[in-house]
Amino acid sequence: MLHTISRQRATFIFIITLLCFIGLFSPVQGRAADLPDRAEVQSQLNTLNKQKELTPQDKLVQQDLTQTLETLDKIERIKSETAQLRQQVEQAPAKLRQAVESLNNLSDVPNDDATRKTLSTLSLRQLESRVTQTLDDLQNAQNDLATYNSQLVSLQTQPERVQNAMFNASQQLQQIRNRLNGTSVGDETLRPTQQVLLQAQQALLNAQIEQQRKSLEGNTILQDTLQKQRDYVTAWSNRLEHQLQLLQEAVNSKRLTLTEKTAQEAVTPDETARIQANPLVKQELDINHQLSEKLIQATENGNQLVQRNIQVKNWLDRALQSERDIKEQISVLRGSLLLSRILYQQQQTLPSADELQDMTNRIADLRLEQFEVNQQRDALFQSDAFVAKLEEGHSSEVNDEVHAALLEVIDMRRELLDQFNKQLGNQLMMAINLQINQQQLMSVSSSLKEILTQQIFWVNSNKPMDWEWIKAFPEALKGQFKAMKITVNWEKSVACGVCRFPGRFTAAVDCRPHPLASAVAQGLSGKACFPGGTAAQRYPTAYAEGDPDRSDPRLTGGAVDSGYRSDLTHHAVKY
């Protein structure tokens, strides 16, 4: 952070110095009073255009006059943009106050229970209308957020762009001044129209410098305003997403209630218990009941797809905006420490492929299921013929009441199939949209990841190791050691980890209770560090002949059990 602030200060100091230099040494020919009159230039050009044949000199003059008119148009456009910029700066404080007030108003958290109670009184059509309006508001908020982010990136990178623009403008002004003063080596005598063109170009450069100066003057207030506006739009987007969630819950509940009502009507039509007990009627009622359960499940699945579509669409919009911002930041901040910080932050926010679900199989299943439902609907198109086919072979069980009941059950089934087909169609549409958005999201994320990986590899992440770095290194190292919290229990270390081997010295650094390390440390004294006896008792081979060099292979790390040696070296450092 300190590096970034220092860098920005240095940039602004350079720019201010450059502005002072240009302001002191700009020639008087660049003033507005010396601008050529547009009407006069246009009149001269019209006179030339009327001539049938032009000499080479006339063609050069014609070219000068045409470029002069184009330059004058650019000057007017720059002045208009500067006036708009000045107006934006003047309006910025009022917009900043408005954004702060709006943000404070959003601090009041609404009561979800009261909102749910209000939404429960609305009809399904009213709820769906509110969902559509909230989605439109959310999309507009996302567009505003993308605009604010883009403008903020432009303002944050403005010092670097202004620095380059000022440098180029100062060089071009010096070249024009040399040509007008006749001090350039090898230049021919300027034509009058060429002098007029150079004066117009000089005025254009001065107008551009003035525009850059005004943009720097308003940079801070414009950034503050945009940041507050962005904060407000972000909070408003979060509020809209929460409202959308509550609305979707109400819509889901309403749809589910209607679906269950339809299913209940399909299962228990208004017939007598005797008719419902008829085996043929009961069989068809069971089919309706199974179909109603599928309809309820399809409604719940469709609701989940709606929520998932909204979530992925928001991710995609943010990823596209990040891609645009990153490209601009890389082009302006290339090679700077600030860019490395920005790239690292962007890398942490990339969506993961684990959060996405491949919809290919689900889309195929939905297509197949919808095809089967349509076949069932077609079979029920002529209900009389369908019922007559059902009644074949059951003449003893069928009477007029049973026939009427079967017709009603089949009509209810056709209605269930219509609703089921509609739900499957909605699911299919949302699944396809979700698959497309997920593919776009992964494509954008992969592109972003590749860009970030390449740039992070090449960009400077720290200051170069120059003389200033070397001078600051001792103090920085001292601060690093002070920040480290290292605690060592020397009494415990000496007690359980210091021993002498023939020809080498071992000092323990990890003094957790460990049987083998305790045996090595205290074996010479014969003290028991192992449960159930002393080291000599547990490893008699090491002490059988009194030769310390003839130790048990488990202590020396021999071929018998090399795992003991690696365990020992974990607890001791050899010098």
Give the residues across from 499 on adjacent strands. 506
CA atoms of 209 and 204, how far apart (whole Å): 9
Q: Residues of 86-96 as b/e, b for ≥16 C-beta within 10 angstroms? A: eebbeebeebb
What is the pLDDT, as a whole number, of residue 69?
92
CA-angle at 514, arms to 510 and 520, nearest 5°: 90
**Of 202, 231, 258, the domain-final residue:** 258
Look up residue 163 and give its amino acid.
Answer: Q
DSSP 188: P
Q: Of 126, 120, 133, whose CA–CA distance to 249 is shortest?
A: 120
Predicted local confidence at residue 332, as pLDDT = 64
Structural domain contains residue 34: yes
CA–CA gap between residue 557 and residue 564 (Å, rounded): 6
Predicted pLDDT of residue 198? 92
State how many domains the chain has: 2
Q: What is the pLDDT of residues 6-27, one digit of tens each?
A: 444 445 444 444 444 444 444 4
The answer to whether position 398 is within a domain reads no
Residue 40 counted as domain residue: yes
For residues 182 and 554, give the distance between their C-alpha atoms in angstroms, rounded to a whole number: 95
Supply the DSSP symbol for 187: P
Whole-number percent of the chain with pLDDT over 90:
15
pLDDT band at 575 (very low <50, low <70, confident <90, very high): very low
Tell me which amino acid residue 77 is.
Answer: R
Which pLDDT score, from 0 to 100, does residue 26 have? 43
In a domain, 272, yes or no: no
Task: Select from 216, 242, 258 the last residue of a domain.
Answer: 258
pLDDT tens for each residue of 390-421: 777 776 677 777 778 788 888 888 888 888 89
Read off the pLDDT band of 32 (50, 70, 90): very low
Which candidate, 514, 478, 476, places its Cα nearest to that of 493? Answer: 514
CB 438 within 8 A of CB 312: yes
- Please give, one letter per residue, the 3-state secondary structure of 280-315: HHHHHHHHHHHHHHHHHHHHHHHHHHHHHHHHHHHH
Say if CB 451 and CB 444 are below 8 A apart.
Answer: no
Domain range for 18: 2-108+116-258
Residue 370 to residue 376: CA distance in whole angstroms: 10
Q: Is the model more confident about 470 or about 277?
A: 470
For residues 316 and 258, the model is more confident at: 316
Residue 261: partners with Cβ closer than 8 Å, 6 or more residues away: none
Q: What angle is formed at CA 120 by the lines to CA 267 and CA 137, rounded to 5 degrees?
A: 120
User: What is the model's pLDDT at position 338?
Assistant: 63
What pLDDT is attached to residue 486?
Answer: 62
Q: What is residue 52's DSSP assignment?
A: S
pLDDT top residue among 518 and 94? 94
> For residue 51, what pLDDT is reported?
84
> Could you tell me the pTM of the whole model?
0.53
Q: Are strands 504-508 and 498-501 parallel, antiparallel or unpaired?
A: antiparallel
**Choice between 95 and 397, residue whose per-residue pLDDT is larger:** 95
Q: Is the pLDDT of residue 495 over 60?
A: no
Residue 400 CB-half CA count within 13 A: 0
For residue 291, being part of any structural domain is answered with no
Measured CA to CA, the distance from residue 506 to residue 573 in angstroms comes to 6
Which of the pair, 95 or 299, is modelled with greater confidence?
Answer: 95
Indicate whether 242 belongs to any domain. yes
pLDDT at site 48: 86
Q: What's the mean pLDDT in 38-57? A: 86
Q: Which residue did the predictor score with more confidence, 574 or 156?
A: 156
Give residue 446's Cα distance to chain centre. Answer: 12
Residue 346 lies in a domain: no
Which of 238, 258, 278 corresponds to the end of one domain?
Answer: 258
551 or 266, which is more confident:
266
Interacting residues of 439 by C-beta distance below 8 A, sequence separation 6+: none
Query: φ and ψ at 4, to 5 degrees?
Result: -65, -45
User: Which pLDDT value is given to residue 77?
Assistant: 94
pLDDT digits (tens, 9 = 90+) for 533-549: 444 444 444 444 444 44
pLDDT digits (tens, 9 = 90+) for 97-110: 999 999 998 887 78
pLDDT of residue 447: 80
User: Residue 294 pLDDT > 70, yes or no?
Assistant: yes
Inside any domain, residue 219: yes
3-state secondary structure of 506: strand
**What is the reported pLDDT for 335?**
60
